[in-house]
Structure 1
Amino acid sequence: MSTRPTDTDSRDTFSDRCASSASFISVHSELHEVNEVTVPLQLADAPLDETVIRLALAGALGMFLGLEREWSQKSAGIRTFSLISLLGAVFTLLVLETDLGEPLLILGGLLVVVQGVMLGIQGLLSDEGTGLSLTTSVSMLVAYGIGALVVAGFITEGVTVAVLSSLLLVLKRELHEFAWGLSREEMRSTTEFAILAFVIYPLLPAEIDLEFGGLVIPLEPQVIWLMVVAVAGIGIVNYAIVSTYGGRGIAVTGFFGGLASSTAVVGTMLDHVRQRPEAASYAVAAILLANAAMAARNLAIAVGFTVGSGSRILLEAIVPLGAVILVAFAVAAWSADWGESGPIELESPFSMKNALAFGAVFLVVLVFGSLAETWFGTLGFYATAVASGFVSSAGATTSAVVLYRGGQLGPAEATIAILLATVSSIVVKALLAATSSNRGFRLQVAAYSGLLLLGGAVATVVVVI
């Protein structure tokens, strides 16, 4: 952190510069008049990259991490963790500023490791247990790393590590009960999901160009695979909720899954219907509620991001999207017997085969959407909204609102783009549901999806007239 010069230094500097530049007199005079205001503002607005602030933050995060250990009455608590984090911060600072810091940083890490080993030995000789002392030892090493991260400038990462680590410590009992209660099938599904999300996804390229009929179609393999991961993740959540709350749990999965990815909900429901054909009415209701959540999210973006922006609020989107939400809730409430609340037995949290098949169908839909965008020519923006709705109607909605706020689109064009993305999302879910072998399920999804679109269209016509 820079230090403020003394009054004597300021006068000397002023005299020297007066000789070289007469214009500096007026500048210095202006700065002198606001000097008493400028300095306090600088101190009040000190950024997080200031060294002293980062050292203080490192100590605070170490204290936060040690809070649970202190509450659990372990051998290392708030003061120890805070000091360890400060130690990592100081040694990292020396690495950045001097040539002697790197050996000290390594030595500090070894010191924390040795201290952890000593705690482990103490746990073996006492009633505390090896597991508890090992957790404390690892937590101390994490605190050391947090201090190093913060001072090195990785402030967000350091805060994230501290919060997640503290959460793991607090949820000890719940995590143990969850792990001990897993069946072999559930454990296998969890492992498969980890492979999908953390092994395959990072290996895929972000973008590739696919040649089709003389046209070059840009594709994003990571986005496509992310949809497969979303299907698997929502499937696991659906399994846990449905196993506990039965049919009502499917509704929860549909609505809250729809807030994240309404299209991925269809993949989960396809697997659900395959395992439990008699519960197809609940799966249909879940897709309807996912559509309601998707429309509600788009409406919140359209209205919320135009409030206070200087542009007129997109009130035109309220009636059609509101109609979709109301009709979806009404049909979902009518189509399924919500009085049944007993648990439903499912075979597995999710099917790897079904998730991959869904990803393949999604790829085909995406390719044809890109072709449609190319063929539409002058209506490229609307075609883009339709194609974006295949992936995420929220992305198309956000793009339309941003262009509207910037003046590139009028309210009518922005509203049409949002509605096209919403319609596209509803249609693509009906198309994906049509791949199910359950005839009743796919016919109901198609009919009720058409009813949602009809409700939105009627509401729009009524308002226009």
Structure 2
Amino acid sequence: MSVPIQLSSFPVDTAVLRILLAGALGMFLGLEREWSQKTAGIRTFALISLLAAVFTIVGSEVLLVVGGVLVIVQGVLLAVQGLLQEDDRLSLTTSVSMLVAYGVGALIASGYTLEGVTVAVLSSLLLVLKRELHSFAWGLSRQELRAATEFAIIAFVVYPLLPADPVAVPGGLLDITVELRVIWLMVVFVAGIGIVNYAVVQSYGGRGIAITGFFGGLASSTAVVGTMLDHVRQRPEATSYAVAAILLADAAMALRNLLIAVVFSFEHGLLLAAVVPLSAVIVGSVVVAAHTADWGETVDMELDSPFSLQNALAFGGVFLLVVVVGGVASARFGTAGLYVTSALSGLVSSAGATTSAVLLYRGGAIGEQTAMVAILVATAASIVVKAALTAPGPNRKFASRVALWSSVVLGGASLTVVAMLA
């Protein structure tokens, strides 16, 4: 009786397969250089990766270092050659790419397969997107460049410096702990959404109120309300489109809260109870917005700089304050205290109140249903305050319609909560 041969019975992580993969990734890296008609192309890059893989598998650190030095020397010679031949411009891209190919070969041969593939793919992407990246960099204003730099600081410098474990509130007066890294990660998360939103609005903001309302609402719902107030003041006939824009800003705000609730509770038990009511707010707002306008109207909306370090510190302070106040209220006044805190903080930042509920849920201080209600209370407070901001405007029809449709959306979400708690 013959025994069937299964592929899984053979070892996959062998030296031969590592060498083959290193050579393939080297060819992949050299493909763009070959297409760009550079001195070093697909064969050179493949051989460089193979050389690193062989030296690594042999286990000789001396050979590996010597090989790296040879690659560097070869890259310098190619750079000098390019300097003499290509309009006196020093191009280091090919030279650095060769060193990357050498590193990829060493990573693959050392067993870091995922890391090696990631480096190869990202490096190839950087080579292919040369024109797009240059165009993007040259098109940045000084303010936008500063914002990008400050975002990199809070995301890649400040975050790693924060303690990974929960820390107690100083002084010993409050018997609660806070996760500083999680709080700062919330800051990075919301700021990243704001940067993406800024880029989209800058590119497509004049093509419709749908984009203006939704993507503007991701960063600043107040900015959307202010823009719509000015718009209906100048053109009363555009009231229905302005109402739709504010509802779409509500939908964007609820979507942001939903992402916070889902993403940051994933490791400690997904907060599924918050998905249904927040989805009801999103769907209800979008449906009403689609019903009230035909989207033939367009409006431009100018956003400020997408991000600043000062705003990050202020936002982090709000997050920290909301978490501490929410924890104290929950510990001393029970669930009612948490709900009141969520409502008050939701007037300023529904994302902050959502953060507080998620962190308390992560720590086991509150249950899933309590966290759901707290998040919905904060979301409702944000919707109410946006409707209230339209009241002082001269267009009473605009204010009344915003209040009406906001109440409809909140009523539908409240019914879903009642049904879930029943």
TM-score range, shorter chain: 0.7 to 0.9
In structure 1, distance between residues paired with 2:156 and 2:229: 32
Q: Distance in 2 between matches of 1:141 and 1:341?
A: 50
CA distance change for structure 1 residues 430 and 356 in 2, over 3 Å: closer, same or farther? farther
2:47 corresponding residue in structure 1: 83
Q: Which residue does the alignment assign to 1:167?
A: 125
Give yes or no for contact 2:274–2:375 (8 Å, CA) kept in 1: no
66, 73, 85: which one pairs with 1:114?
73
Q: Deviations over 1:32-52 (max 9, x none)?
A: x88x44665312xx344x333
In the alignment, is residue 288 of structure 1 matched against residue 246 of structure 2? no
State how 1:411-450 maps to structure 2 within 5 Å.
416=369, 419-420=372-373, 423=376, 426-427=379-380, 429=382
| Residue 280 of structure 2, aligned match among 323, 327, 347 | 323
8 Å CA contact 2:205–2:301 kept in 1: the answer is yes
Tell me by how many angstroms 1:160 deviates. Answer: 1.3
> What displacement does 1:125 show?
2.6
Which has the higher mean CA deviation after the structures are superposed, 358-367 or 245-254?
Answer: 245-254
Contact 1:298/1:394, CA 8 A, preserved across alignment: yes
Aligned twin of 1:149: 107
State yes or no: 1:72 paired with 2:30. Answer: no
Q: Deviations over 1:6-25 (max 9, x none)?
A: xxxxxxxxxxxxxxxxxxxx
Q: Which amino acid aligns with 2:31?
A: L
The equivalent residue for 1:186 is 144
TM-score (norm 1): 0.66
The residue type equivalent to 1:238 in the other structure is N
Q: Which amino acid aligns with 1:222?
A: R
Say which of 325, 335, 354 aligns to 1:368: 325
What letter is aligned with 2:19?
Answer: L
Q: 1:352 aligns with which of 288, 292, 309?
A: 309
The structural deviation recorded for 1:170 is: 0.8
Distance of aligned partners of 1:335 and 1:205 in 2 relative to their CA distance in 1, 3 Å threshold: farther
CA contact (8 A) 1:285 1:333 kept: no
Determine helix, strand or coil for the equivalent of 2:169.
strand
Shift of 1:429: 5.0
**Matched letter for residue 204 of structure 1:** L
What CA distance in whole angstroms lies between the structure 1 residues aligned with 2:322 and 2:94?
51
Aligned residues: 390
Residues of 2 paired with 1:436 and 1:232: CA distance? 24
Please tell me whether Structure 1 or Structure 2 has the larger radius of gyration of its CA atoms.
1
Change (3 A) 1:41 1:450: same
Q: What is the aligned partner in structure 1 of residue 235 from structure 2? A: none
In the alignment, structure 1 residue 246 sits paired with structure 2 residue 208: no
Distance 2:127 2:58 in 1: 31
Structure 1 residue aligned with 2:17 = 53
Tell me which moved more, 289-298 or 439-448: 439-448
Tell me the CA shift for residue 446 of structure 1: 9.4
Q: 1 CA distance for matches of 2:319 and 2:417?
A: 30
Distance in 2 between the 1:69 and 1:78 partners? Answer: 7
Among 130, 135, 140, the alignment partner of 2:98 is 140
431-440 or 276-285: bigger deviation: 431-440
Quote the RMSD (CA, aligned, Å): 4.9
Question: Per-residue CA shift, 1:63-106, capped at 9, x if unaligned?
Answer: 211111122222222221111112112222233xxxxx111111
What SS is found at the alignment partner of 1:216?
coil
CA contact (8 A) 1:426 1:449 kept: no
Q: Which amino acid aligns with 1:285?
A: L
C-alpha spacing 1:296/1:123, structure 2 compared with 1 (3 Å): closer
| TM-score when normalising by structure 2 | 0.72
Query: Equivalent residue for 1:12?
Result: none
Alpha-carbon deviations, 1:209-248, whole Å to 9, x = none? 2157744322121222222223332232222211222266
Structure 2 counterpart of 1:171, one-letter code? L
Percent same amino acid among aligned pairs?
52
Contact 2:169 2:176 in 1 (8 A): yes
Take 1:371 and 1:331, find their aligned partners in 2: how far apart are those partners? 38
Question: 1:305-345 deviations in whole A, cap 9, x for unaligned?
Answer: xxxxxxxxx9x999756533321213444688954435433
Greater relative CO, 1 or 2 (CA 8 Å, sep 6+): 2
Structure 2 unmatched runs, 5+: 232-241, 266-271, 344-350
Distance of 1:57 and 1:75 partners within structure 2: 24
Q: 1:27-46 alignment to 2 at 5 Å? A: 36-37=3-4, 40-43=7-10, 46=11
Tell me, in whole angstroms, the C-alpha distance in 2 between the residues paired with 1:186 and 1:438.
34
For residues 288-307 of structure 1, the aligned pairs below 5 Å read 288-292=251-255
Shift of 1:352: 3.5
Does structure 2 retain, via aligned residues, the 8 Å contact 1:366–1:390? no
- Offset of residue 112 of structure 1: 0.5
| Distance verdict in 2 for CA 1:371–1:435, change over 3 Å | farther
* Partner Cα separation in structure 2 for residue 321 and residue 84 of structure 1: 53
Q: Is the 1:295–1:325 Cα contact (8 Å) retained in structure 2?
A: no
Tell me, yes or no, if structure 1 residue 222 matches structure 2 residue 181.
yes
Distance 1:337 1:78, change over 3 A: same
C-alpha distance 92-139 of structure 1, shift in aligned 2 (>3 A) = same
The corresponding residue for 2:346 is: none
